[in-house]
């Protein structure tokens, strides 16, 4: 189960270079249900996501580089690329800050994943977070992959 809230970011933290990051490329084989392939640095993953906005099923399976390349050629729509910074928030929570590249260059979005719905609903975002887009389907990566 994935429980997360998403926010647009207008102003980046000044010490961003202090945090680790991943290079991510992802594409979608299907958007209903969501079936995604992702290259994260040197790892390759196939993901299924169920319906939902803040809470939904999520299953990940490893792929080989060869399988990823084969499936990438079958993907629909835009291939999304981004740099994802991992920023600790509390001892339980971290911010995944995505700086999009390519077609969506300039888009900056933060996600925070939670252990349960209660903590997600009680969350107060840091001051540098902008507008919440958890319930705005336009900011689901699967929908972004279908934008012309």
Annotated catalytic sites, by residue? 28
Token pair 């994802």 is found at 84
CA distance 110 to 95: 6
CB 134 within 8 A of CB 6: yes
Going by the DSSP 8-state scheme, the letter that residue 132 receives in this structure is B
Could you tell me which residues are beta bridge partners of residue 63? Answer: 44
Going by the DSSP 8-state scheme, the letter that residue 1 receives in this structure is -
Render the burial of 51-69: b for 16+ CB within 10 Å, e for the rest. eeeeeeebeeeebeeeebe
């Amino acid at each position: 189960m994935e429980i997360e809230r998403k926010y647009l970011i207008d102003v980046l933290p000044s010490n961003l270079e202090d945090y680790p990051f991943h290079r991510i490329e992802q594409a979608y084989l299907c958007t209903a249900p969501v079936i995604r392939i992702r290259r994260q640095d040197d790892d390759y993953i196939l993901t299924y996501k169920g319906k939902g906005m803040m809470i939904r099923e999520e299953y990940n399976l490893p792929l080989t580089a060869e399988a990823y390349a084969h499936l990438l050629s079958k993907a629909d729509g835009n291939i999304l690329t981004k740099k994802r910074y991992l920023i600790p928030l509390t001892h339980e929570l971290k911010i995944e800050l995505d700086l999009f590249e390519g077609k969506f260059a300039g888009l900056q979005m933060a996600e925070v994943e939670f252990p349960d719905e209660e903590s997600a609903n009680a969350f107060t975002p840091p001051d540098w977070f902008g507008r919440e887009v958890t319930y705005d389907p336009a900011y689901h990566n699967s929908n972004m992959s279908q934008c012309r």
